[in-house]
């Protein structure tokens, strides 16, 4: 049996302000380990809302979301916080870097929080990731001083430091030039195929989406 990292069944999501509106309608799909998947759809189709649920940041929904075999619905906040730090890497627009900390410290932080690596090992791993993403020369700078594209690459390095089972992103290459977008794409491709890490990325880039293993397309809150 294939290892299902994400299993979503019968998910409905409503917003109540200014009036009740069903944003996600009976969403069901699963993703096996090592898949590089793209989540696509027009603006307003529900992509960010779905990703927010899958990332366990929003717990208000109907249905079932299983990540690595664990039902996340109904779990208490501290359990979810630990689960996220161990198993999920994010590159989200709402998930900002700490502007007063250096790039290096931002990347190290999730590893130090997890407590499996020594400070020295975390520094080494963070440096390696920054190098892989072409921003090692920015390591000692406060992230407030970096360009949007550099910040995005630091955020990707931070998302990868705990070797998460699943990496989720909302337009993770949206601020990057084509060279660096290609670099990030190739890195995601490599870690999914070589390490078996699962990647789910919202993208508007048709070409990017077509080159992934799997496209999940939303139309008006439903899987097309
Ligand atoms: N917090 C919220 N309250 C009310 N409506 C929301 C909220 N967040 C998103 N929506 C609405 O839900 C729909 C889907 O939004 P979203 O998931 O952000 O779409 P996408 O990311 O595909 O552009 C849109 O109609 C949006 O206006
Ligand atoms: Mg969105």
Over 60: is that where the pLDDT of 1 sits? Answer: no
* Rounded Cα–Cα distance for residues 168 and 65 (Å): 15
| pLDDT tens per residue across span 120-167 | 999 999 999 999 999 999 999 999 999 989 999 999 999 999 999 999
Nearest CA to ligand 1 atom 16: 46
Is the pLDDT assigned to residue 88 strictly greater than 70? yes
Task: Decide whether any atom of ligand 1 lies within 6 Å of the 17 Cβ.
Answer: yes
Q: Using the 8-state DSSP alphabet, how is residue 18 labeled?
A: S
Q: What is the pLDDT of residue 205?
A: 84
Answer yes or no: are the C-beta atoms of 165 and 55 closer than 8 Å: no
Which residues fall within 8 angstroms of residue 90, CB to CB, at 6 or more apart? Answer: 55, 84, 159, 167, 168, 169
Question: Of all protein residues, whose CA lies closest to atom 2 belonging to ligand 1?
Answer: 15
Centre of ligand 1 to C-alpha 181, Å, is: 26
Burial of 91 (0-12, 13-18, 19+ CB in 10 A): buried
What's the pLDDT tens digit per position in 24-65? 999 999 999 999 999 999 999 999 999 999 999 999 999 999
C-alpha 69 – ligand 2 centre gap (Å): 27
Residues sharing a CB contact under 8 Å with residue 38, sequence separation 6 or more, in sequence order: 200, 201, 202, 203, 208, 209, 212, 214, 215, 216
CA–CA separation, 157 and 212 (whole Å)? 20
Residue ranges per domain, the chain?
Answer: 4-96+164-223
Nearest ligand to the CA of 43 is 1
* Residue 2 pLDDT greater than 80, yes or no: no
- Assign a CATH topology to domain 4-96+164-223: Rossmann fold (3.40.50)
- Residue written as token pair 């906040």: 77
CA dist 49 and 47 (Å) reads: 5
Sequence-ordered list of residues with C-beta below 8 angstroms from that of 54, at least 6 positions apart, any chain? 6, 8, 65, 67, 168, 200
How far apart are the C-alpha atoms of 150 and 84, rounded to whole Å?
24
Interval 83-107 mean pLDDT: 89
Task: Identify the pLDDT of residue 95.
Answer: 61
* Position in ligand 1 atom list of the atom nearest CA 50: 17
Cα–Cα dist 88/90, whole Å: 6
Whole-Å CA distances, 183 to 47, 74, 99, 103: 24, 38, 24, 19
Q: How far is CA 13 from CA 5, 60, 63, 221, in A?
A: 21, 7, 9, 9
Percent of the chain with pLDDT over 70: 98
Section 188-203 average pLDDT:
94
H/E element, 77: helix 77-87
Q: What's the pLDDT score for residue 94?
A: 61
Mean pLDDT of the chain, nearest integer: 94
Q: Please give the helix or strand (H or E) that residue 135 lies within, else none.
A: none
Quote the pLDDT of residue 27.
98
């Amino acid at each position: 049996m294939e290892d299902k990292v994400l299993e979503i069944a019968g998910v409905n999501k409503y917003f109540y302000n200014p009036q009740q509106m069903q944003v996600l309608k009976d969403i069901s799909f699963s993703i096996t380990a090592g898949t590089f998947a793209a989540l696509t759809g027009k603006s307003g189709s529900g992509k960010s809302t779905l990703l927010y649920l899958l990332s366990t940041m929003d717990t208000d929904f109907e249905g079932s979301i299983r990540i690595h075999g664990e039902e996340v619905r109904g779990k208490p906040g501290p359990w979810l916080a630990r689960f996220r730090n161990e198993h999920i890497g994010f590159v989200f627009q709402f998930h900002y870097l700490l502007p007063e900390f250096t790039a290096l410290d931002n990347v190290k932080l999730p590893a130090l929080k997890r407590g499996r690596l020594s400070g020295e090992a975390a520094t080494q791993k963070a440096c390696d990731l920054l190098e892989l993403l072409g921003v090692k020369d920015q390591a000692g700078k406060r992230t407030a001083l970096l360009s949007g594209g550099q910040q995005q690459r630091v955020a990707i390095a931070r998302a990868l430091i705990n070797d998460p089972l699943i990496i989720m992103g909302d337009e993770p290459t949206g601020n990057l030039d084509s060279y660096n977008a290609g670099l990030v794409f190739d890195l995601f491709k490599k870690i999914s195929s070589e390490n078996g890490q699962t990647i789910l990325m919202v993208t508007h880039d048709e070409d990017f989406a077509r080159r992934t293993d799997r496209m999940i397309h939303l139309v008006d809150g439903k899987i097309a």
